Structure 1
Amino acid sequence: MELLFVAVIVAALGLGIRYLVPGHETYGVLLLPAIATAVGMIVWVVLLWTGFTFDGGWIWVWSILASVLASVAVALVLPRRRKADDAQLRASLGI
């Protein structure tokens, strides 16, 4: 049940990050929430396997922190990469 809570929390944070970081017009609405959810859930399960308990605070901190960092990293890198690739495509097409 806690995994569902983690998924909802980090998906909401990913959606919020989408609108806080500039350049959100270069990718879809659900990309950052999906990345945040996947990373948060994977970190949660790995930490459970390593011995953290679901009622401990550190599993929440690390899961949420990892998902936020992954979302911010994608939100910062993707627009620059997308604009560079689009410029290269336009140049190759002669536009």
Structure 2
Amino acid sequence: MQILIAFIVGAVIGLGIHFQLHQRLTRGVVVAPMIGAVSAGLAWAILTWAGVGIDTPWPWLAALIVPIVVTYPAIIAISRIRVAHDAREKTRLGIG
């Protein structure tokens, strides 16, 4: 049941990253929270399947650190790819 805490923490971290980074309009508002939630939940699940108990700090730290490490570069890459694609499309269509 504690994995829900990891999902919620990951989503909140992802939401914070969404609003912290530039080019918010190039991606959906749910992309960063979903990446954060999935990465936190996956880290928690991997650690618990590996036998690390919730009485140790490792699943809790993973739920905080992994979403940051995964979501930042993913959102930066998604934004850059979208901006480059939009620029190519504008050039192809001959729009301003």
Partner of 2:65: 65
TM-score by length of 2: 0.90
Inter-partner Cα distance in structure 2 for 1:17 and 1:34: 11
Inter-partner Cα distance in structure 2 for 1:25 and 1:65: 26
- Render the CA deviation track for 1:26-74: whole Å, top value 9, x for unaligned: 1111110011111111111111111211121011112321111111112
Cα RMSD of the aligned pairs, angstroms, is 1.2
TM-score by length of 1: 0.90
Unaligned runs of 5+ residues in structure 1 are: none
2:43–2:63 contact (8 Å) kept in structure 1: yes
* Matching of residues 1-95 of structure 1 within 5 Å: 1-95=1-95
1:15–1:33 contact (8 Å) kept in structure 2: yes
1:14–1:68 contact (8 Å) kept in structure 2: yes
AA partner of residue 91 (structure 1)? T
Greater shift after overlay, 10-19 or 57-66? 57-66
Sequence identity (%): 28
What is the count of residue pairs matched by the alignment? 95
